[in-house]
Structure 1
Amino acid sequence: MAGVVEAASALAPLREELHCLPGPQGFDGAPTWTLHDPANNRFFRIGWQEFEILARWAVGQTEAIAQAVNRETTLHIDADQVGEFAQFLLNHNLLRLSGDAGLQRLRQQVAMRKQSWAQWLLHNYLFFKIPLLKPDALLAWLYPRLAWIYSGQFAVLLMGCALLAGFLLSRQWERFLATFPHFFNWSGLAQYFLALMLAKTLHEFGHALTAHRYGCRVPTMGVAFMVMYPMLYTDASETWKLSSRRQRVAIAGAGIAAELGLAVFAALAWNFLADGPLRSGVFLLATSTWIMTLAINLSPFMRFDGYYLLGDWLGIENLQPRAFAYNRWHLRRLLFGLEQAPPESLPKRWQWFFIGYAWCTWLYRFFLFLGIALLVYHFFFKLLGLLMMAVEVGWFILRPIWSELAVWRNLGFDAWIKPQSRITLLLLIVGIAVLVVPWQGHVLAPALIKAERYAEIYLPTAARLDTWQVKTGQAVKSGELLAQLSSRELDFQARNSALEGQLVEWQLAYQGLEQNLNQRRQVLLKELESAGAKQAGFRHQQTQLTIQAPFDGVALDLNQQAQVGQWLKEGEALLIVADPGSQLIEAYVAEEDLQAVGQADSAVFYPDQPGMSPISCRVERIDQGGAARVPAMLASMHGGAIAARFDAQQQAVPESAVYRIILRPEAESQNLPHFPGERRGSVRLDTPASGLLRRFVRQVTTVLVRESGF
């Protein structure tokens, strides 16, 4: 019986313990049946044709079964279709084999299932289960005592508690939210894990108890590890026996419903508990646990509750493999014009649903598994983290892509000469050309142009403005008086410190006459030194109240609010002095563009200000280290192109590494009109042309070199 079943061969009998149960109506309205293998606790959904074949299996011959089905029903099948179904039963060990052929078949299956230690480690590292409990006896004891939670009265009670809890929390919402910061410690972390364990245990018992309610056996409950992350699980595979869609939806949603019910009672209890560990625990049950459950379990793109809820609600079993198979067929038909029959016949609206669902799931899994790979890499030490990240990316992302590419390679010559294949090849060639051909020969960088000598003058201390000698746009000479300020408090402190110094000097002068003064000589010397330092500091502050031009230039951006006779606060901006005769450009480039910028042979600055012409410039200097801060004018908070955030000193700190480049306008650009202050723009640096693929490889290499220190 090993090998493909021939059309005219005798068929092995079915195993006696198999059960064929009525199944739910298919999403296309066709009747279905469920074939149950109790020894392996496996279920197989079959259609009308397969059911009619099974009903006549005792005939024993493929040709005879096909004739009987055609004679007694409206179906029309041939012996090959019976043989294909027989092969399916054989592959899943649903036939009773005997003799040497049966023994050989079992030996082949055992040999095929043997794995090397590396394969075993790979599969068990990614996912494995540890059964902890056979709950049927416990469920049989619990259900009569908890059956009331499925009643309408309990639903009304739960709804009333939810409304009451919402009303009470609305009256002290800020106090309720203020509970959250108390968990940022070891005690709070322990409370969180205890609350999470309670919620997840209740979640799994919700599935198990509801399955028991509808007559399904629950073989095991335990913990499953997905990429070393523990999750509780319940084996509810017997729900396949149920023909009622409503019952299956109830079982799939029971875990989420149990956690939501727990959250309602926890939110209500929070209002009546005193501050302490118990109140903190119910706060967690009322907030974070069920929110995380909804965020993770309701996703239809992973095989959690949301996936089974969607499948049961639509009446589609095995949604993901069926959608994947149909979308792969559709993709091959679209790209290569293949005329193969689809995996299954679907109505038009279900075709697009399967295709859309498959693409959404693939994209969701791509970013999810990529994120898990990065998380695994950073969680372990670098060598092990790098290896585990490679396993994650290779197994979950690259392996499915490689498998599909292998199918494309084996399509044959006829498939590649079709019009669709030619278009696909043309698009592929264009895509490769875009990636490989060096067509991008410039780098754009956010920049600003400013005077090379540029001074912003701020008031060093609170003072009174006595004279204001300058106007906006006025040319000033180095050392020229710009403003004079005065501070009576500063004058008083300077005089007071001078008197303190004179007093200490008098005490030192007469220390020989007074015995107690002689004993304090060292103390007096320290006091004299301190008084002198204070006096010098106050005098320096007094000199700073005379504002002079630091160099030859133009006075800009005068403080229009400052008036003679007015008191100004410390740190208030007075004016800017800039030398417009010498300008420079300050640009910032990303780390991946740094190497190309070093080879730039020309550059042009494009001001954002309308009416200003582009300025030809040359690279003068590239900083070796990344910029710790960037000008506020170029930061994203002020509309600039550099993603940044404010630090404690309200300075703009870049979110990713950027490097400063200093450029100087060419000689022919020096006749530009002067402008006040700084002006934002962008610099185009002409670099050697490179393709996108080369840039990507260079960026990946940079990251690998940066992360290669073990």
Structure 2
Amino acid sequence: MSPDTLRAARPRLREGVRLGPAVRSGPTLVHSVKEPVSGRYFQIGPSEFFIMARLDGITTLAEIDRQYAVEFRRRLTDDHWAHILGTLGRRGLLSGSEPPQAPAPEQRRRSLLYVRLPVVAPERWLGRLEPRLRPLFSPYAVVPLLVAVVGMEIAVLARAGDLWGATTRLGEGRPLVLAAVLLGVWLTVAVHEVAHGLTGTHFGGTATEIGVVWRFPMLAPYCRVNDIVFMARRHRVYVAFSGMFAGLVVLLPVAIAWPLLGGTAADAAGSALLLGSLSGLINLLPFFRLDGYAMLNHALGMRDLQGESLAYVRGLLRRDRALPPYPRGQTRIYVIYVTCAALACVAWVCWIVLWTVRSFGH
């Protein structure tokens, strides 16, 4: 192809190719790309994103090149353009290119410490359920429920001693009832995961798996939501928050019933309220790779806050001269995150030591 013909070309992305918003990955920005035929995902940088976002079948490469020069202060040669178009064509991202082959079946990692067992593909039934439950995503439903949940958790904190006493009494005198309570709390975690899938569906994603994961020493339900990387930042935060929120909402009837009950029923309700609240609120801690961490990651627009923070602070302590140049505000976030994680770890260890000393002291 001659240079003039190449520059006059008006290539277009394949129908259905999705380009995601920028997220911070270390010192650089990356965008996610999804090829619609095979479902493969790719990571690209800002310059590649700039070009791909303009491949609309109308704009010529010469026009894109002029815009590129203004944005990045350099021009691309004909060899560069040929390489870019060739790469996009091989990946099946250009209209008219050969569709890529479907990827090989995923090899699931299994060990004594980790096993993931898919149970159901929920995309179809969540797609039918979401329109019926759409009013629940309105602020008129979410805000009152959020206020009620916050009020419930304040009451749980205020009556934590009574709730712990109820749990202890069940453990000592009614172990089977306590086992039933634990099963009920476990089922609230299932509601938690379905809420992730439903919220992801509401904001344009797809829930491809619901199942059970064994991650030593816990057995828990899980939900896999695809395409979350293409959502707006606040929607990604909502998807991460929705599971914990739904798990606490289902405890509201228990919180209302607890003061009205007596005997074993009151102890069972109090235990469920305490254990369910702990299960939900632990998810908010951003130091484990749970919902709170995902919320913080999405809110800050980062790809892997924990890993990147540890890598940066480790290099800083070693005075590594090979550290890449990070934006100043980002390095502050890294240092604050690692400091808070270290303080939380120290507090947790101190609490365990204190609890152990007091327990054996009695």
Q: TM-score, normalised by structure 1?
A: 0.38
- The residue aligned with 2:291 is 305
- Report the residue type matching 1:322 in the other structure: E
Q: 2:133 aligns with which of 134, 140, 146?
A: 146
- The residue aligned with 1:319 is 305
Displacement of 1:179: 2.7
Q: If each structure's helix is expressed as a fraction of its own residues, which one has the higher value?
A: 2
Determine if contact 2:156/2:273 at 8 Å carries over to the other structure.
no
Displacement of 1:270: 2.0
CA deviation profile, 1:254-293 (whole Å, cap 9, x unmatched): 111112212222101223445455x554333321122133
CA deviation profile, 1:121-145 (whole Å, cap 9, x unmatched): 8x63343311111112221232233
1:195 matched to 2:184? The reply is yes
CA distance in 1: counterparts of 2:154 and 2:361, whole angstroms:
40
- The residue aligned with 1:124 is 111
- The residue aligned with 2:234 is 246
- The residue aligned with 2:326 is 346
- The residue aligned with 1:209 is 198
CA distance in 2: counterparts of 1:166 and 1:321, whole angstroms:
31
Q: If each structure's strand is expressed as a fraction of its own residues, which one has the higher value?
A: 1
Q: Secondary structure at the match of 1:179?
A: helix
Distance 1:53 1:304, change over 3 A: same
Q: Which aligned pairs between 1:489-568 and structure 2 lie closer than 5 A?
A: none
CA deviation profile, 1:189-220 (whole Å, cap 9, x unmatched): 32132222221011111211111111211111
Determine if contact 1:70/1:77 at 8 Å carries over to the other structure.
no
CA distance in 1: counterparts of 2:335 and 2:277, whole angstroms:
31
Q: Secondary structure at the match of 2:289?
A: coil
- Report the residue type matching 2:137 in the other structure: Y
Displacement of 1:31: 9.0
- Report the residue type matching 2:178 in the other structure: L
1:289 matched to 2:286? The reply is no
Larger Rg: 1
Determine if contact 2:192/2:244 at 8 Å carries over to the other structure.
yes
Displacement of 1:49: 0.7
Gapped runs of 5+ residues in structure 1? 1-12, 59-63, 98-105, 115-119, 371-642, 649-710
Q: 2:258 aligns with which of 259, 270, 292?
A: 270
Distance 1:198 1:32, change over 3 A: same
1:182 matched to 2:182? The reply is no
- The residue aligned with 1:23 is 21
Determine if contact 2:248/2:280 at 8 Å carries over to the other structure.
no
- Report the residue type matching 2:334 in the other structure: F
Displacement of 1:222: 0.9
CA deviation profile, 1:644-680 (whole Å, cap 9, x unmatched): 99878xxxxxxxxxxxxxxxxxxxxxxxxxxxxxxxx
Displacement of 1:321: 3.8
CA distance in 2: counterparts of 1:44 and 1:155, whole angstroms:
35
Gapped runs of 5+ residues in structure 2? 1-10, 94-100, 350-356
Displacement of 1:326: 3.7
- The residue aligned with 1:258 is 246
CA distance in 1: counterparts of 2:128 and 2:47, whole angstroms:
42
Q: Secondary structure at the match of 1:302?
A: coil
CA distance in 1: counterparts of 2:300 and 2:111, whole angstroms:
33
- The residue aligned with 2:5 is none
CA distance in 2: counterparts of 1:258 and 1:247, whole angstroms:
16
Distance 1:40 1:254, change over 3 A: farther
CA distance in 2: counterparts of 1:274 and 1:22, whole angstroms:
54
Determine if contact 2:13/2:55 at 8 Å carries over to the other structure.
no
- The residue aligned with 1:133 is 120
CA distance in 1: counterparts of 2:311 and 2:155, whole angstroms:
51
CA distance in 2: counterparts of 1:167 and 1:33, whole angstroms:
40
Displacement of 1:42: 5.1
Displacement of 1:249: 0.9
Determine if contact 1:37/1:94 at 8 Å carries over to the other structure.
no
Distance 1:301 1:145, change over 3 A: same
- Report the residue type matching 2:71 in the other structure: T
Determine if contact 2:212/2:219 at 8 Å carries over to the other structure.
yes
Determine if contact 2:248/2:276 at 8 Å carries over to the other structure.
no
Distance 1:174 1:349, change over 3 A: closer
Determine if contact 2:178/2:268 at 8 Å carries over to the other structure.
no
Q: Secondary structure at the match of 1:35?
A: strand
Q: 2:50 aligns with which of 49, 52, 63?
A: 52
Determine if contact 2:313/2:335 at 8 Å carries over to the other structure.
yes
Distance 1:43 1:280, change over 3 A: farther
CA distance in 2: counterparts of 1:323 and 1:168, whole angstroms:
36
Determine if contact 1:32/1:46 at 8 Å carries over to the other structure.
yes
Determine if contact 1:158/1:264 at 8 Å carries over to the other structure.
no
CA deviation profile, 1:32-76 (whole Å, cap 9, x unmatched): 753114466554454431123446899xxxxx99x9468654312
Distance 1:82 1:197, change over 3 A: farther
Determine if contact 2:164/2:274 at 8 Å carries over to the other structure.
no
CA distance in 1: counterparts of 2:80 and 2:347, whole angstroms:
43
Q: TM-score, normalised by structure 2?
A: 0.68
**Residues matched between the structures, number:** 323
CA distance in 2: counterparts of 1:286 and 1:186, whole angstroms:
17
Q: Secondary structure at the match of 2:119?
A: strand
CA deviation profile, 1:287-339 (whole Å, cap 9, x unmatched): 112213312x122223211111101111222323433444455455x15xx3x
CA distance in 1: counterparts of 2:272 and 2:250, whole angstroms:
7
- The residue aligned with 2:352 is none
CA distance in 2: counterparts of 1:363 and 1:172, whole angstroms:
27
- Report the residue type matching 2:238 in the other structure: A
- The residue aligned with 1:493 is none
Displacement of 1:347: 2.0
Distance 1:165 1:309, change over 3 A: closer
Q: Which aligned pairs between 1:557-596 and structure 2 lie closer than 5 A?
A: none
Q: Which aligned pairs between 1:463-478 and structure 2 lie closer than 5 A?
A: none
Distance 1:188 1:319, change over 3 A: same
Distance 1:321 1:197, change over 3 A: same
Distance 1:264 1:56, change over 3 A: closer
Determine if contact 1:222/1:232 at 8 Å carries over to the other structure.
yes
Distance 1:314 1:174, change over 3 A: closer
Percent identical? 24
The structure showing larger relative contact order (alpha-carbon pairs under 8 Å, at least 6 residues apart) is 2
- Report the residue type matching 1:255 in the other structure: G
- Report the residue type matching 2:191 in the other structure: L
